[in-house]
Chains A and B, each alone.
Chain A
Amino acid sequence: MTASTRLRAPTVALSCRGLKVAFRGREVLCGVDLELGAGEWLGLIGPNGAGKSTLLRSIAGLVAYDGTVALTDGRVPSARDLSLVPQTPLWPSGMTVAEYVLLGRTAHLSWLASESRSDRQVVASVLRRLSLEDFAERLVTNLSGGEAQRVVLARALAQQTRIILLDEPTSALDLGHQSAVLELVDELRRSDGLTVIAAMHDLSTAARFADRLVLINEGRLVADGEPDSVLDAGLLSSVYATQLTVRRLDSEIVVLPAPRTHRKHLDDQTGDRRTNDNSHDGNRQEST
Chain B
Amino acid sequence: MARRLGDETLRLGTSGVEWAADRAFRLSAAVVLSAFAVLAAIGMLSATSGAAGLPVAGVIEAVFAQLPVLGVESSLSARQESILFQIRLPRLVLGMLVGGSLGMAGAAYQGVFRNALADPYLLGVSAGAGFGAVLAIGFGLDLGWGPFGAVPAAAFIGALLAVSASAAIARSSGSAPATLLLGGVAMAALFAAAQTYALQQLSETRAREVLSWLFGQLNTSGWGQVWILGPYVLVCGLFLMTHRRHLDVLRVGDDEARSLGLNPSRVRFGIIAASSLLTAAAVSVSGLIAFVGLVVPHIVRILVGHSYRVIVPLSALTGAAFLAFVDVGARTVVAPSELPIGVITSFVGAPFFVFVLWRGNATTT
Write the residues of chain A forming the contact surface with B, with a CB cutoff of 8 angstroms.
57, 60-62, 78-80, 83-84, 86, 89-90, 92-99, 101-104, 106-109, 112, 114-115, 117, 120-121, 123-124, 127-128, 133, 136-137, 155, 159
Contact = CB atoms under 8 A, between A and B. Distances in A.
Contacts of A84: 256, 259
24 contacts: A79-B260, A80-B261, A84-B259, A89-B256, A90-B252, A92-B252, A94-B305, A94-B364, A95-B307, A98-B21, A99-B25, A99-B307, A102-B21, A106-B249, A106-B261, A108-B261, A112-B242, A120-B18, A120-B22, A123-B24, A124-B20, A127-B21, A133-B16, A136-B16
A1 to B, nearest CB: 10
A136 B20 contact: yes
Contacts of B261: 78-80, 106-108, 159
Contact of B256 (A86, A97, A136): A86
Contacts of A60: 259
A95 B256 contact: no
A98 B306 CA distance: 14
Contacts of A155: 260
B253 interface: yes
Contact of B260 (A107, A112, A128): A107
Contacts of B243: 112
B306 A86 contact: no
Interface string B218-260: 0000000000000000000000001101001101110111111
B314 to A, nearest CB: 14
Interface in B17-39: 17-18, 20-25
A83 B258 CA distance: 10
B273 interface: no
A128 B18 CA distance: 10
User: Interface residue tally of chain B, by bracket?
Assistant: 20 to 34
Given A114-B245, A120-B22, A95 B260 contact: no
Nearest to A136: B20
Contacts of A112: 242-243
Nearest to A104: B260
A249 to B, nearest CB: 37
Interface of B: 15-18, 20-25, 242-243, 245, 248-249, 251-253, 255-262, 301, 305-307, 364-365
A115 to B, nearest CB: 8
Nearest to B18: A124
Nearest to B256: A86
Given A94-B364, A99-B25, 7 more contacts: A93-B365, A94-B305, A98-B24, A103-B249, A124-B18, A124-B21, A127-B21
A128 B19 CA distance: 13
Contacts of B24: 96, 98-99, 102, 115, 120, 123
Nearest to A90: B253
Contact of B21 (A57, A103, A121): A121
Given A79-B259, A86-B259, A133-B17, A94 B25 contact: no
Nearest to B254: A62
Contacts of B16: 133, 136-137
Contacts of A114: 245
Contacts of B242: 112
B158 to A, nearest CB: 29
Contacts of A103: 248-249, 252, 260
Contacts of A120: 18, 21-22, 24
Contacts of A99: 24-25, 248, 307
Contacts of B18: 120-121, 124
B259 to A, nearest CB: 4
B260 A106 contact: yes
B259 A136 contact: no
B306 A94 contact: yes
A193 B65 CA distance: 68
A115 B25 CA distance: 10
Nearest to B309: A114
Contacts of B256: 84, 86, 89-90
A61 B253 CA distance: 15
Contacts of A93: 306, 364-365
A174 to B, nearest CB: 25
B76 to A, nearest CB: 44
